[in-house]
Amino acid sequence: MEYIKKFFIVIGLFLLSQVSMTAYTIAKGFSMEMGEVNMPLFATILLILLAIGNIWLLIYVAKKLGFLSFKFDFLTKKNIGIIIVGIILARVIAIGGTLLLNNQGAKSTANDAVIQTIFTGENPLLIILLLGISAPIMEEIVFRGGIIGYWLEKFPIVSIAISSVLFGLIHGPTNLISFLIYGLMGLILSLSYYKTQRLEVSISIHFLNNILPAIVIALGLI
């Protein structure tokens, strides 16, 4: 019964994590239907405030559930080493996977293509907030903290496998290569969390992996 309760709590965490991005997608779609290339300033400000509130609320819930502290004492030599190795492996997977996709005639994964389409030209602060900050924090809370540290904490192998597979699927893979790109990244993040028992470690890896592409899109360099 306890596992069923925790399962629905994790589902709730996931739904909560999607609020700001869903709101952005709806607002962007409405703006495009109105013939506007970019969203009006008022909508952008509202979305920035919503994203900040969404992040704060999810962090608050994660702290209450007991799998997130957000204290800087996680920056030990061991954890810093894991973060460095994790980001290197993540970039190797991303670059290697993209090269394989290029050989098949695709420039990037479908997920990356959609992100570039709907975010390019929008407010830089909003882009960096949603892609570079919000996504790493919220996805780690759900997929690592929620699944591995809370729901299936007594079954590490199962929870790591489920977390990695779901992380791969949630990014909308259209072929095996794109699934492996995100699934293997999910595995790296899952192992880094499990080995350190600090969600801040996997968040750091995820953040470092996301922030540069977010800045590139925000500055219109692609």
Of 107, 135, 10, nearest to 62 (Cα)?
A: 10
Quote the pLDDT of residue 222.
64
Confidence of residue 37 (pLDDT cuts 50, 70, 90): confident
* pLDDT mean over 152-175: 95
φ/ψ of 40, rounded to 5, equals -65, 160
Please say whether the beta carbons of 185 and 90 come within 8 A.
yes
* Nearest-5° Cα angle at 20, 172 to 94: 35
Residues above pLDDT 90, as percent of the chain = 82
pLDDT tens per residue across span 82-114: 999 999 999 999 999 999 999 988 888 889 888
Quote the pLDDT of residue 35.
81
pLDDT tens per residue across span 5-23: 999 999 999 999 999 999 9
What distance in Å separates the CA atoms of residue 183 and residue 166, rounded to the nearest whole number?
8
Confidence of residue 136 (pLDDT cuts 50, 70, 90): very high
Quote the pLDDT of residue 17.
96
What distance in Å separates the CA atoms of residue 182 and residue 199, rounded to the nearest whole number?
19
Confidence of residue 32 (pLDDT cuts 50, 70, 90): confident
